[in-house]
Chain A
Amino acid sequence: MSETFLAPYPDYDVLAKWDTPSWNEQTREVMAHRLREVPGRRFFDEEEWAVLVAVCERVVPQPERAEPVPIAPWIDAALFEGRGTGTHFATLPSGPEAWRRGLESIDREARARHGCGFAALDATRRDDILEAVDAGDVDAAIWRDLPARTFFRHLLLEQIVALYYVHPDAQSEIGFGGPASPRGYVRLGPDRLDEWEAPAAAKRP
């Protein structure tokens, strides 16, 4: 996973529309909260937190950003506040327990393979472990009845991307229109743009 991010819309920023008809009052309030009130750690202990942060860094690497989009704080906050998703897959423990056990298992997997915790590994070794978790190619003595792939894809990856792609920086990088109310769009056809959308990207390879 050594490829670099190609940034198709480098000059586009959905936040530039903050004071335009694309943003209403309630959306500004919600986004201000997300940008300015990043919560502190309350649910995970220090060890779990270190693993979670290290996992987030590899699921969504942001080496080009001085201030990466925060993800771990919001996962912690949701668990602390008891916010559910509506689904408890019977093969997993309940949400909070599944998170603790999954992160602990990732960390123990790292110790078994490399003799140190996941957060202390370099990027390549971390990625190797995450790929093994996704493939279910893990130590059964560590994971026991926790299904590695289900945990990895349906809790860990889904929650991380859910928090990354609601951030304006992430929406800008993919050229999404961002918040749009009361103003929506007029030009709906292929290769048609309203002036408040991201300028067309350079042709991709």
Chain B
Amino acid sequence: MRAPVGVWATEAEQRPRATDGRAPDVFSRDGHVPMRQFEDGEDVDFAIVGTGCGGGVLAAKLAEAGLSVVAFDAGPFWRPLADFASDEREQDKVYWLDERLSDGDDPIELGSNNSGRCVGGSTVHFQMVALRFRPEWFAARSRLGYAVDWPVDWRTMWRYYAEVEDALKISGPVSYPWGPDRGRYPYRAHEVNAAGLVLARGAEALGVPWAATPLATVSAPRGKSPPCVYRGFCKIGCSTNAKQSVLVTYIPRALAAGAEIRDLAMVGRIESAGDGRVTGVHYHRDGQWRFQRARNVVVSGYSIETPRLLLNSATDRFPDGLANGSGTVGRYLMVHSNHAVWARFEEEIRWYKGPPSMAVCEHWNYVDDHPTKDFDGGYAFMSQGPLPVDFAKALVSNTGTFGTALRNRMAEYNHMAGLKIVGETMPQAENRVTLDEETDALGLRRARVTFSYADNDKRLFRHSLGFMKRMIEAAGGFDAYETSSTAHLMGGCRMGHSPEDSVTDADGRTWDVPNLWICDGSLMPTAGGVNPSMTILANAARIADRMKALAARGELAARHA
């Protein structure tokens, strides 16, 4: 369908690997594991679109409960040990590089900035920062006076955070300075690298707490995953399997429990019947369009592709797209502001060693009343370790530096350190995904992504820049400069309390179509000031249990009800 991006293992980008009753063994260089397969005409309990934090978890937990599951992913099924190189350009192959239109007052960068395209989804490239929401954020409106409340209680989420932290064997500190008790992390924290120690030194100088970042890469052996060797290429795919991505955790579980994974399978349309229920998905694989029948369809394509698929599945009965009676599909899209302060240091930091963010400060997520706090919501910030291209792109796009001056700035790479926020943005109806007139290679209308910061968002990142500059200078940094960018995607099909202003109920079931579900980051009603992956995973684990309970009570269109 499209030219391979990489030069190595291009066959994974050109031909499906999960076929003939077997799927790639992700812990091998060229081996397989057995895989159950279903006929297109077989009415499976669940067709799941996407295999990342949402779909991967669901596929495993539902299959383990004896339900029949086929999970589709538009991208390849990698074997990291054999397929992943230590090379920033080659590894572009893990990202969603098909063009999406980006507009608004503050158009966001997509692609490698926030969008994965492979089995395992964005966890294949995530930087493994494993944080929990602050409990009050689940009731942001009633407890803190901004945005909206989640339809889920924080204590419920707390239990599921523990479940997914155990599933990914998070390596974290003995005690975490912020929020209620969270028990012990399954694995011990990693040694903090020099870049992280800059944050630690600065935090101590300013009198705020810091912590070794809880990370989804193991600090000791786990099954076939070796401990992290601190190679530092985490953001472009881990080639040792130390990283506990969905690809090496939930996907093997799903396969072992009898789920089928279909790689290189782009779902283009959800079919709905005259009674308003959905009947399956049209998907493109191996050069042809096919149709998989299903009793339930779950969309887990993340904040751009999930609304895009719902909108592209419009019918006469649902002219504005499936599950869009409220007009909310695609709306309330959020990012994290990702502003940073960088500085030079006398000593060599060599931030390329180890995971990029080994130290974290959540101080401003937990302070509500402070004379300088002129914004709602919060932000965490972390130490940094960008690879050369990543660092150079931030430098040139923010400063316009070129020529010998650019080479000299880049030659300070080993003396640099940085602090960068994950800053909450407000849910705004006008920040949204719509369909562009232009179509992609499969004839599917492309996504148009519209984003503008709210005034509150700007106050928040300005506050962070001032605080981080003080901190990095207190740590001994000089020649400080700032950059701006965004990270992560949240919302776009939010869950809520009412069909008037949300797409699904608390179970991820769409208000309009009883056997159509959503399970991914697009459900998030607010963004919080932490990396979203653990929240998406925990929410998916919770939704899986709700689906199992509903199935047991006969309230789900499932064979095993």
Give the interface of A toward B (CB within 8 A): 1-8, 23-24, 26-27, 29-31, 33-34, 58-61, 81-91, 94-95, 127, 130, 134, 149, 152-154, 157-158, 161-166, 170-171, 173-193, 197-198, 200-201, 204
Contacts and interface: CB of A to CB of B under 8 A. Distances in A.
Contacts of B5: 83
A82 B7 CA distance: 15
Nearest to B448: A90
Contacts of A127: 403
27 contacts: A1-B403, A2-B404, A26-B83, A26-B239, A29-B8, A30-B8, A34-B89, A88-B100, A89-B103, A90-B107, A95-B99, A153-B400, A157-B397, A165-B410, A175-B411, A176-B414, A177-B232, A179-B86, A182-B240, A184-B228, A184-B232, A185-B230, A185-B231, A185-B232, A186-B230, A188-B353, A192-B194
Interface of B: 2-3, 5-9, 82-90, 92, 95-103, 107-113, 115, 191-194, 197, 228-233, 239-240, 345, 347-350, 352-354, 387-389, 392-393, 395-397, 400, 402-408, 410-415, 448
A107 B60 CA distance: 57
Contacts of A152: 400
B345 to A, nearest CB: 8
Nearest to B112: A86
Given A86-B115, A180-B233, A188-B193, A1 B88 contact: no
A8 to B, nearest CB: 5
B111 A85 contact: yes
A149 B193 CA distance: 37
A27 B397 contact: no
Contact of A162 (B3, B88, B448): B88
Contacts of B102: 87-90
Contacts of B352: 176-177
A152 B401 CA distance: 11
B197 A189 contact: yes
A166 B353 CA distance: 17
A185 B353 contact: yes
A158 B113 CA distance: 13
Contact of B97 (A60, A86, A162): A86
A200 B348 contact: yes
Contacts of A153: 396-397, 400
Contacts of B392: 161-162, 164-165
A178 B86 contact: yes
Nearest to B84: A26
A4 B229 contact: no
B240 to A, nearest CB: 6
Nearest to A171: B388
Contact of B396 (A23, A158, A182, A190): A158
Given A86-B112, A175-B411, 4 more contacts: A26-B82, A89-B103, A161-B393, A190-B197
Contacts of B397: 153-154, 157-158
Contacts of A182: 229, 239-240
A175 B90 CA distance: 21
A193 B146 CA distance: 48
A175 B412 CA distance: 9
Most buried by B among A4, A23, A89, A184: A184
B85 A30 contact: yes
Contacts of A165: 88, 388-389, 392, 410
A201 B107 CA distance: 40
B167 to A, nearest CB: 25
Most buried by A among B3, B83, B345, B388: B388
Nearest to B415: A204
A105 to B, nearest CB: 17
Given A59-B402, A171-B388, A166 B89 contact: yes
Contacts of A94: 99
A82 B197 contact: no
B184 to A, nearest CB: 24
Contact of B87 (A30, A149, A175): A30
B404 A3 contact: yes
A183 B229 contact: yes
B405 A185 contact: no
A5 B98 contact: no
B231 A59 contact: no
Nearest to B8: A26
A177 B353 contact: yes
Nearest to B345: A190
Contacts of A31: 87
Contacts of B84: 26, 181
B107 A166 contact: no
Contact of B231 (A7, A134, A184, A189): A184
Nearest to B6: A30
A185 B351 CA distance: 11
A122 B101 CA distance: 38
A166 B389 contact: yes
Given A31-B87, A87-B100, A188-B353, A26 B389 contact: no
A71 to B, nearest CB: 12
Most buried by A among B83, B192, B403, B413: B403
A15 to B, nearest CB: 13
